[in-house]
Amino acid sequence: MEHKDQMPEVVRLTIPFGRGRLDACLSKGNLACVLMPPISENPNSLSEEDPLRLALDHPIDSKPLEEWVRGKRSMVIITSDHTRAMPSRQTLPLLLQRSRKANPDLHIAILVGAGNHRPMTKAEMVDKFGVEICARERIVQHDSQDTAALVKIGALSSGNELWINRVAVETECLVAEGLIEPHFFAGFSGGSKSVLPGIAGYRSILANHCAEFIQNGQARTGNLDGNPIHQEIVEAGQLANLSFIFNVVLATDGTVLRAFCGNPRGAHEEGVRFVREWFTVPRVMADIVLTSNGGYPLDQNIYQSVKGMSTAESCCKPGGVIIMVAACQDGHGGDSFYSHLASAATPGELHRRTCRRERHETLPDQWEFQILSRILANHPVILVTALEDPGVVTAMHMRPARTIDEALELALRMKGRQAQVVVIPDGVSTLVDGPPAESGEERKS
C-alpha cells in the first residue's frame, strides 16, 4: 500500500464556466504552468467608475464628448450585444448624462451592434443595459439582413461594398462604446469594430470575414499590422464618420481596469498598447492545453468558444489535446457553423475546401468553421460543457465531457500519464507571446 508521503501532489484548478466556475484536480507532475496575465486582478483602489470618468475627462487625440454634441440635433451610440462583456450599465449612463448636460435637446438612439448575431431577448437587454435605460431610451437592434434598414456608404480599398445601419447614417454624431481584448482574427476588439461588423450589412460582413483574409498569416490574435481584416475595420469607421469611442479594458473579474476614449484610431491604439503590456504571457508548449472562454457571456455557445480554442492552439504541441471549458447553454450558436462541421467527412477536408472559397462565395459562419476545422485537423478537442445533448459535440468532431476531471483523464489516456499540461484559465483575455503555433495552414503529418 502506498504511503501518504508517496502520493502525488495535487494542484487544484478553478476555471470559469457560465456564471460560475468548475473545479478540478491535476497531479503536480503533469502541470507545466498556469498562464495568467500579469494584471488578472483589478488593482484599482478607487471606485470602479473612476477609470471611466477619468477617460472621459481626458480624451485621446480628440475634443471632449461634450463638444462633439453641442449644436447637434441627434446622436447615435453604438453598443455591443449579449455576447460581449461590455459593462454598459456603467458606461451608457455616463455617455447619456454628459451628452444631455451639454445639449439638453439632443435626440439620442442606442444602436445595438449585433453583427450577424441573433437579436437580444427582452431579458438579455434588461440584464445588459438595466431597467431604466430599457424603459426610457430608444434602443434599436441592428439586423444585418434587413436591407430596408441599410444604406451603402461607399467601398473599402479591397472593393468590399460597405452597407451600414440607416440609423447611424442619418445621425449628426456617431459614437461607439466597446471592449478592447485580444481577438482571434481581427487582432483586437474595440475601436471601429463597432461599425464593421457591428452595424454592417450581411454581405459586407461576409466579405470582411472571407476565407482569404482568415487564412492570411497576419490575421491572428494580437496583430494589427498588415492584418487585412483590421484594415477594413479602420476604413469602415472612417467611412461611417465615427467621431468618438469609449472603450474599456476589463480585469478577469469583469471590473474596469482602464478606459480609453476619443479619436477612434488613436484611443484604440492606446488601449491596445495597454492590453499588450498587461495581458501578455510567454508561450509555453505542452501536450495538453486546458482553457476556457472566461465564462459568461462568451461561453454561451460552441461558436464563441472557438476563440478560447485558438489561444490554446498557440500553446499546443503537434497532435496535442485541447480541453475547452464552455457552458454552451445557448447550443452550437449557428446553423451554418454546425451543419458544415457535422456534414464534413473530416475537419481537414472541410478546412481545405473552405480555404478555396472566393470572397464573393463566403458562407454564413464560414470564418468560424474555417478556424475550428483547422484546429480540429491538428488537435483532438475535448469540450467540457453543460449541453444536454452530447451528440451535438460529437457530430462536430469533438469529444464531450461533463467535468474537467473527466476531460483530463481522457486527455492523459490519449497522450500518456507523463503528459505536460498548460492551463490558461481565460483564453479570451490572455495574449500569448511569440509567433503562433499555426501559420494558418493545416499541419502536414
Question: What is the set of active-site residues?
Answer: 117, 183
424 phi and psi, to 5 degrees?
-120, 95
Q: Are 79 and 177 spatial neighbours (Cβ–Cβ below 8 Å)?
A: yes
β-bridge mates for residue 107, sequence order? 74
Q: What is the dihedral of CA 389, 390, 391, 397, to 10 degrees?
A: 150
Dist CA 260 CA 61 (whole Å):
11
Tell me the HSE value of 441 on the side-chain side, using a 13 A CA sphere.
Answer: 4
Report which secondary-structure segment, H or E, holds 262.
strand 256-262
Q: Are 213 and 196 spatial neighbours (Cβ–Cβ below 8 Å)?
A: no
CB count in 10 Å sphere of residue 315: 29
Please give the single-letter amino acid code of residue 425: P
Dist CA 419 CA 304 (whole Å):
28
Dist CA 410 CA 188 (whole Å):
33
Report which secondary-structure segment, H or E, holds 369.
helix 366-378
Report which secondary-structure segment, H or E, holds 409.
helix 404-415
Please give the single-letter amino acid code of residue 251: A
The C-alpha cell at 22 is 468548475
